[in-house]
A = this chain, B = another copy of it.
Amino acid sequence: MPSSESSGGSVWLRPERPPRDRQLTRERIVEVAVAVLDAEGHRGLSMRRVATELGVTAGSLYWYVHTKDDLLELALDRVLGEVRAGPGTSGWRDGLAALARSNRAMLLRHRWALSELTVRPNLGPNALALAETGLRLLESAGFAGTDLDAALAAVNDHVVGAVIAEVAWRDTLARMSGTGSGWAEQAADYLRQVAERHPTLAGRMAATGEIDVERESERRFTFGLDCLLDGLATRCATPSPS
């Protein structure tokens, strides 16, 4: 019988067994899982892989973790714990921006976490702590009630959306440069059609061709974030940094 009875609900409702002997721990398992995910990507994670990495059979893991989904939920919350609010930030606006940046940095470090976010409701302790600090910042700005929720959600949404777009962009470039010969002709055909049908898009693509993805993604992120914070500032009681 695995780590607790009553199989429904979230992992967080099923506490870990008290220790005795153990060469294994949830801690260690999650740690290895994150390492594998970072190294091999979302597809590279399998129970057997984590098990062999720990010198153990696949079945053993199920003593500590109900299912692979639970493991992923734990892994997700673990990396969410890496997000920190900057230390000496003055005012809600800077604080929120710092939090958003830290969040973005984490998502770029662990790109698999994005796909998890879309599939899995996320109620781990680190996720909740993160929500709390965000809420406090916005509260200090004068937001309250449902506007508080909406404001925090808007910032988080921008972070998630921006990283998704950035990762997709990078992957596209990586894929295009990673293909063998004979690719150029087909691509050229396709691109010509695109250019005919979508002139302004073609213009932007041409201009974006030689740009540093890293810097440009950063720029877009701050652009959107600034827009958002401007919009928020006009809607709260404390428009200036307090």
Determine how many copies of this chain the complex contains.
2
Say yes or no: is A171 at the interface (Cβ < 8 Å to chain B). yes
Q: Hey, what's the 0/1 contact readout for A1-13 against B, CB within 8 Å counting as 1?
A: 0000110111011
Q: Hey, what's the 0/1 contact readout for A161-204 against B, CB within 8 Å counting as 1?
A: 11011011101100110111011001100100010011011001
In the docked arrangement, what's the CA distance between A168 and B10, Å?
A: 13
In the docked arrangement, what's the CA distance between A57 and B10, Å?
A: 38
Tell me which of A18-26, A31-39, A44-52, A111-119 binds B: A111-119
CB atoms of A227 and B235 under 8 A apart: yes
CB atoms of A117 and B164 under 8 A apart: yes
CB atoms of A216 and B146 under 8 A apart: yes
- The 18 listed contacts between A and B (C-beta, < 8 Å) are A8-B179, A9-B187, A13-B183, A114-B118, A118-B167, A128-B197, A129-B197, A139-B200, A145-B207, A146-B207, A148-B204, A153-B220, A154-B158, A154-B162, A157-B161, A157-B165, A160-B160, A161-B164
Q: A13-B187, A118-B164 are in contact. Are A200 and B147 (CB under 8 A)?
A: no
Number of interface residues of A (CB under 8 A): 81
Q: Hey, what's the 0/1 contact readout for A200-222 against B, CB within 8 Å counting as 1?
A: 11001001100100001001100
CB atoms of A153 and B8 under 8 A apart: no
B residues within 8 A CB of A169? 121
